[in-house]
Amino acid sequence: MNKISILFVVLLVIGAFGVFIIDSTQKEPFEKVQPCDLIDIISQTNKYVTTDELARKMMSDDPTIMLIDLRTKTEFEKYSLSGAINIPLENLADKQYKEVLDQDVRTIILYSNSSDLAVKAWMLTSRLTYKNIYILKGGLNRWVETILKPKEPKETALRTEFEMYSFRKAASYYFGGGSTVGETVIKKKTSLPIKRKKKSAAGGGCD
């Protein structure tokens, strides 16, 4: 009797190991984020940055932000936000970009033409448990609509909307789209690009 029970226990242990082995033959056995967790992560974390927030940060020369352009190389070369790094979505999981993305010092902001690619990229990075990653809500299309070509609010609009508008106007001028009709009298609060002071050339000889 005793022998039999020992045998059973041994069998059980072997069985348990067997299950464990089957388990670990999966493609990524030690993947930290399981499907169930991923849904929770997505629905619980704050993952968006609005175009206004980004504009504010860029205008104050915030050194902690890092922009990542997920579009193709050709699109990136045509136009990109200043300082952005191009990582096409297909190459996001490549090893060469791991160091760029896997860090917790800077705030990474993902963008594409809208938020579509950024949403997918965000999902992949959260599967890889990368931190500090945000999506530019609305992407470049909204960047144009709100920052480069802001619409003037109606006269009946709230004061906050006007304040928002005047900020956007200033931003639009800063980022170079500031031609939209009727120059309004908005004082720019933000720092203008610093003009290099030309030092007067050292007077060479005797004049």
Partner 1 sequence: MKKYLIIIIISIIALTSCTKEQRRFKLTVEEASKQAVDQAYVLSPQLLADILYSGSDLATYKFIDLRNPSKFENGHIEGAINIPFRTMNKNNNCKTFIDQGRVNIIYGESTEQAIFAGFFLQQLGVKNYFIILGSYDFIKNNIIDNYNIYSAHYNPEIVQYDYAKIVSETSGAQNYSAKTKKPTGTATFKRKKKSAAGGGCD
Q: Which of residues 52-71 bind partner 1 (CB under 8 A)?
A: 58, 61, 63, 67
Whether 52 contacts 190, CB under 8 Å: no
The reply on whether position 81 binds partner 1 by CB under 8 A is: yes
Nearest to 170 by CA among 153, 184, 155: 184
CB nearer to partner 1: pick between 117 and 165: 117
Return the bridge partners of 111, or none.
69
Residue 49 backbone phi and psi in degrees, to 5: -125, 135
The reply on whether position 146 binds partner 1 by CB under 8 A is: no
CB nearer to partner 1: pick between 67 and 165: 67
Size, binding site for partner 1 by CB under 8 A:
82
Residue 104 makes CB contacts below 8 A (sequence gap 6+) with 131, 132
The reply on whether position 99 binds partner 1 by CB under 8 A is: no
CB of 186 to partner 1, least distance (A): 13
- What is the Cα–Cα distance from 23 to 17, expressed in whole angstroms? 10
Residue of 123, 132, 152, 153 that binds partner 1 (CB under 8 A) = 123
